[in-house]
Amino acid sequence: MLQWLQKFEKKRTLPVQPEQVNKDLLASLMIMAWFVEAKDPYTGGHLWRVSRYANLLCRAGGLPEADIARITLGGFLHDLGKVAIPDSILNKRGKLDENEFAIIKTHPEAGGRLLAGHPLRHIVAAAVELHHERPDGGGYPYGLNASMIPIDAAIIGICDAFDAMTSLRSYRSPMPVEKALNIMREECGKQFNQFWCEQFLALAEQNLLNDIMGHSDNGIPLHTCPLCGPTVLQQRDNKPGDLLACSVCYSEMELCTEHGYLTVKPTGNKASAAQLQPKADNLLIKQLIEESIGHIPLEQVIQFSSHKNQ
């Protein structure tokens, strides 16, 4: 006991670097966002995909590294406010009624309230609160027009919409990619910022989105439950033989390799309570933070929050 106390006291008195404190604060936000996503068994990997699409789009548009880092992180955190939305609405299989849609539309402001008082709030506030604003003024929650929407929100709004259209949802199957792109072409300059939408469409035409679509992490494909259909998430440290679980039908799944690809197969058992508990993918979150700010001090990202419109 004495040795443990001495070890604890030694750890407690070690100097803490401001950069590490900020990274830890950022990681705490990202873990919270990951658990919000875990509430919805149909949108697994959405935060990672939006973040990666945003990173690609920032680079295509020639933004400085500090802006790229900030917007990449904002892409992962943009749906933070969905923690305030009831599961019965998030996971509804049919079309939302007017009142339910009104509740869904509160999530950007709810995210802003969650961020209130957080030391790193201003890094991601635009991404969280404004990603559903539209250049034509028809967005929410504030009905901003094109000149009032920050770059962060314009970019993440495009990436969020594309992933929503092309991924599995409780109320529909994924939309064909070309159909989604046609919708984006039609809405260019109306729902979507024209410059950034054109850049995104160019990335699609070059097939540069393919390694992100249908994945929940680099090289990790999305799995769906063969018994009832929702997403079964594989984390970065999972390997063939590990047991996963479907959070809808509670079936136990084994991660297998088939024809050179990873897939999941039901074991015939019900998942245990421990298997059904959501577990943050800390390795993914750590790498995303390190990749985003690996060559830039986080303080520079904080100071470089210019939010200029293209």
From first to last of the 310 residues of the chain, give the pLDDT tens digit: 434 334 434 443 444 456 677 788 888 889 988 888 887 877 789 999 999 999 999 999 999 998 999 999 999 999 999 999 998 898 888 888 999 999 999 999 999 999 998 888 888 999 999 999 999 999 999 999 999 999 999 999 999 999 999 998 877 788 999 999 999 999 999 999 999 999 999 999 999 999 999 999 998 988 989 999 888 989 889 999 999 999 889 999 999 998 888 899 999 999 999 999 888 888 899 888 888 877 676 676 766 554 444 4
Give Cβ neighbours of residue 168 (< 8 Å, ≥ 6 apart). 42, 43, 174, 222, 224, 229, 230, 231
* Residue 289 to residue 24: CA distance in whole angstroms: 10
Q: Cβ(171)–Cβ(97) under 8 Å? A: no
Residue 189, Cβ neighbours under 10 Å: how many? 14
Number of helical (H) and strand (E) elements in the chain, helices listed first: 14, 7
Q: What pTM value is reported for the model? A: 0.88
* Residue 128 to residue 131: CA distance in whole angstroms: 6
